Amino acid sequence: MQVGFQGNTKNTVFDPDPRAKLAMLLAVNIIMISGGSAGVELVLRIICAALPFVLLVSVRHYRTAVIYLAAMGAAVFGESCILPHTSGIAGILVLIPCGILTRFMAGYMMCWYTVRSISVSEFVTAMEKMHVPYFITIPMSVMFRYFPTLGEEYHAVSDAMKMRQIGRTVKDPLTYIEYVLVPIMMSTVRIADELSAASLTKGLSAGGRRTHICEIKLTLADLFIIAGSAVMIVLFFVY
């Protein structure tokens, strides 16, 4: 599932500050992965499951939002309505995919939204405003560009295979490994080196106070999001 926006969301309905996005990402992953299905934890999980849908709609990616909502709804239905009436192998076949979707899909979509909607400049500026050390900021800034760049590399390999009329299905795994996985594995090393060199070239490891072209600032809505994320995490650990 590919979200069709890249770099920034300035022309969207709602574009939170990078720090607010990171706060939501942290809250959603903690609560969805470890949360239960009763009491306060159930309410928190419902809120966290709804957040990716709202954010995808805010960036006008309606198709992905509908697919996410349908997949999450099907997983919840399977856990709550089908699983109690099954046992043995059938129960396992229902439990595993539904459990994976309900616990990891919301976090995955939040991570995808965060990575694709925050530019490297915005991320570095936000980290500096939070006084995060450079030995944390630099690897994370590389990571923010690594996965989108790797995705672009995969699509380039796929297009090259189509031009040469080479199949890339699991029916021919050896061909898939030779023509897809091997180029991707070689590209991962090159991409990581290039992004690390680009980060160092931009002076991310230099000491002293830095200036930035992009300007970010917390609005009242961003403060509300950060406070709400913190309250949800506290409620999750308390209750």
Q: Tens digits of per-residue pLDDT, 110-122?
A: 988 888 788 777 8
| Residue, of 187 and 11, whose pLDDT is higher | 187
> What is the predicted pLDDT for the residue at 1?
44
Q: Where do the structural domains in the chain lie, given as residue ranges?
A: 18-119+218-238, 123-201
| Residue, of 162 and 77, whose pLDDT is higher | 77
> What is the predicted pLDDT for the residue at 119?
79
Q: Tens digits of per-residue pLDDT, 163-186?
A: 776 655 556 677 777 777 788 888
> What is the predicted pLDDT for the residue at 211?
67
Contact 148, 140 (CB under 8 A): no
Q: How distant, in Å, are the alpha carbons of 158, 171, 177 from that of 182?
A: 13, 18, 6
Specify the residue for token string 């992004």.
Answer: 195
Q: Tens digits of per-residue pLDDT, 186-217?
A: 877 777 777 777 767 766 666 666 666 777 88
> What is the predicted pLDDT for the residue at 61?
86
Lowest mean pLDDT among 43-47, 90-94, 151-155, 167-171: 167-171
Lowest mean pLDDT among 28-32, 105-109, 202-206, 226-230: 202-206
> What is the predicted pLDDT for the residue at 13?
59
> What is the predicted pLDDT for the residue at 212?
66
| Residue, of 103 and 154, whose pLDDT is higher | 103
* AA letter at 41: E
Q: Tens digits of per-residue pLDDT, 17-56?
A: 889 999 999 999 999 988 777 788 888 999 999 999 999 8
| Residue, of 24 and 4, whose pLDDT is higher | 24
> What is the predicted pLDDT for the residue at 230?
93
Q: What is the mean pLDDT of the chain?
A: 80
Task: Please say if the pLDDT value at position 220 is more than 80.
Answer: yes
> What is the predicted pLDDT for the residue at 5?
45
